Chain A
Amino acid sequence: MRRLTRDRVLSIGLIAPSLIAVAVFVYGLIAWTGFVSTTKWNSLSPDYTSTGLDNFVSIFNYPRFQLDLRNTVVFTIFFVGVSLAIGLFLANLLDRKIRGEAVFRSIFLFPMAISFIVTGVVWKWLLTPSAGVNLLLGLDPDTNKWLTDPSVVHLPTGTVLNDIGLGFLATNQWGVPIALLSIVIAAVWQMSGFVMALYLAGLRGIPDELREAARVDGASELGIFRHVVLPLLTPVTVTAVIILGHISLKIYDLTVAMSPTGLGFATDFPATYMWQTSFFANQFARGAAVAIVMLVLIATLIVPYLIWNRRQEVSR
């Protein structure tokens, strides 16, 4: 591959503009944000005096931001988990020579074409206790509070956590806010069809011979699914986790349209807080610190993936 020098120059020359653009617009701007996060810039007149990590100390000590981090983790786990489960389930249903497969596929996939803001508005209507699904299904609004449920649930419940010396885990910062699950429903509605498509493509890519062989060996259908099919779907799962995970960690439009902060910050997210801190309260340095924390969170998700990806490549 290295013999054609002219071609090599051409190849690097063609990719160079993209590399420069990414260097400036991604890394340059991340560096800028990182720099701003260490300054005192808290008005419309930039003040680049350094304050070290004060802004970070300040946001981590701020109760609202602590809850935002909780929400990000809880939301990511539920959104990714439920989307994968539903996507896999639907893909399995569709991978059975279904009449009207294309119709079902289109119905499951189309929410992806809709913007998160519209999704948020419609689901806000649907999950308002006095109307929406409660009205449609005749559910009791006092027990099905959806978006307005103020409770934060801990597992295990009761005083168990205190009894085993983990009392701090029973605080608000370590629970699951029930209202947040309503946002999960809307997000799953939007993205699970896409996961279904990914899995369906994955299932179609698995050669029948593998299943046949397992069947001949006397494996049960469940066994085949667990030991043959699921492992082969791992790359699909990883891709889906990454795509869903980065949506989840950056989520903004959907939550702002549906429930901007929620009762006791039950549906507040770092991006919501960042926008308000920067563009309403003019605390640009603080907002930059929030952005950097978000990037670090995203990196903790993506870097293992990238390493895993590299290993896969090598072993291929």
Chain B
Amino acid sequence: MGKRFSALLAVVALLVLACGGTTATPSPAPSGGQTPAPTATGAPTLAASCQSDASKTPVEVQGWWTTGGEANGFNKIIAMFNDANPTICVYNAAIAGGAGSVAQGRIKAAVLAGLPPDTFQVHMGHELLDTYVNIPGGSVMAPLGTDVIDPAQFPAGVVKIISGADGKIYSVPLNIHRANELWYNKTIFAANNLQPPTTWAEFETAATTLKTAGITPLAIGDSGIWANGMIFETVLIGTLGADAFLGLWTGATSWNDPKVTEALTEYKKILDPANGWINTDHSSLSWDQAADKLIDGTAAMTIMGDWANGEFTAKQFADYGWAPAPGNADVYQALSDSFGLPVKAQHPEQTKLFLAWLGSAEAQAIFNPYKGSIAANVTAGDPPAGELQYNDYQKSAASDWKTNTIVPSMEHGAAANPAWSSAINDVLTTFVTDLDVAAAQSALVTAATGFTQ
């Protein structure tokens, strides 16, 4: 008995030291619906809670920024707001996991039950409009007046996709991310005498060279299929051009168009294991694990949104360059995290004050250097001295934003209805395995039925 007990104690000790946990982690959502995060480091910093202070009106902000730069920046502007408004306590009730899908489930269940948070995070564009605004029973979000958001301070294209069918504005965009960016390892490119490819033909040449040199040309981490879908979107943009790409989402371009066939054929070439241009383990990696392949030099390129910049910075990797994805020069594929006001919000007046702050030039200039994005408010300048400043990438993005043609991102909620992007992702999930261009195109045509607007 005594022996047994001591053995048991030994195991306790071992397990106490050793064993693993409870519910943990993210892992990409099965589909769209995610917001990129720039950094990978650091413990979460939830804003210190002022909720227990009865003299303050609590305002619940629901989203999915819980750690890294995005949470640090967001909590910072929340704290600034709370300091300036002593009767209000805004608190960040973000839930990570499934790259936003858990928070979305919670938000939607709560909205349906008539108990929405005071404000919540939603991608600008069709994810906002088709989920909450232009719906049969009438918008569940309240229109925002000029006391909350001044449309003159935002680009016309952005204002258009935060406005409902009634022409009123329904959310405040806090940032702009770019989706169609190519990232590459400078040393590898120099060693192989390569320049960032500007067309898919150049990409193929570069890929062949790199493969011969024993380096994976393109790293993909598509355990969440959206990462692969983003590549497809850049191929579509490169093949169709910005206008026809936009037309895919409005019905002006048919999904049966020969150019779509061409894009799918190119996309097939990229993915085809026979070519060996991508890492074979892509389906079990997340995008950041794929980006790590650039850091350790086993891969030369990756195509990802500009949150990759934050990942490289967080991993203290400086030897990278960026360029628009092949064929995507002068096209800025955008996505934005925005915040709206549910009709049934319990503290609408206080929430409006907070939303007005989120839209302000000052808040956006402070938040966006942390997030790795640029300000949506065009009047937002550089951050004040003493605050975190924009890095080189962000500066280049800000100047591109002013001159490029803007197109929306499908994978990040801007271009298409969620049901539609969900259906497209299902088509791509099959395509990645069977590489059947004709079947994929016909499935994409079917998926578009009833959604183009």
Contacts and interface: CB of A to CB of B under 8 A. Distances in A.
Indicate whether A and B are direct neighbours in the complex (CB within 8 Å): yes
A147 B23 contact: no
A265 B434 CA distance: 11
A268 B32 CA distance: 16
A115 B132 CA distance: 34
A65 to B, nearest CB: 10
Chain A residues touching B, majority SS: helix
Nearest to A273: B30
Given A103-B8, A147-B283, A257-B24, A44 B135 contact: yes
A287 to B, nearest CB: 11
Interface string A57-97: 00000011000000000000000000000000000000000
Interface stretch (B97-105, B244-252, B333-341): B97-105
B415 to A, nearest CB: 15
B57 interface: no
B108 A102 contact: no
A148 B430 contact: no
A168 interface: no
A258 B11 CA distance: 28
Given A115-B21, A130-B281, A264 B108 contact: no
A113 B418 CA distance: 37
A120 interface: yes
A114 B432 CA distance: 33
Given A260-B224, A265-B430, A280 B25 contact: no
B42 interface: no
A130 B7 CA distance: 37
Interface string A265-281: 11010001101111111
Size bin of chain A's contact surface: 35 or more
Given A264-B430, A280-B29, A118 B284 contact: no
B253 interface: no
A37 interface: no
A261 B131 CA distance: 23
Given A47-B136, A279-B105, A261 B429 contact: yes
A150 interface: yes
Interface in A208-260: 253, 256-260
B282 A148 contact: yes
Contacts of B11: 102-103, 106-107
Contact of A264 (B4, B135, B285, B429): B429
A253 B23 contact: yes
A141 B280 contact: yes
A313 interface: no
Contacts of B105: 275, 278-279
B422 interface: yes
B280 A129 contact: yes
B281 A63 contact: no
B111 interface: yes
A100 B112 contact: no
A117 B104 contact: no
A200 B20 CA distance: 25
Interface of A: 42-47, 63-64, 100-103, 106-107, 110, 113-115, 117-122, 124, 127-130, 141-142, 145-148, 150, 179, 253, 256-266, 268, 272-273, 275-283
Given A110-B19, A264-B430, 10 more contacts: A43-B131, A45-B140, A46-B137, A47-B137, A63-B430, A118-B22, A147-B284, A148-B281, A264-B429, A282-B418
10 contacts: A44-B132, A106-B8, A114-B20, A115-B22, A118-B24, A253-B23, A261-B225, A263-B432, A279-B108, A280-B31
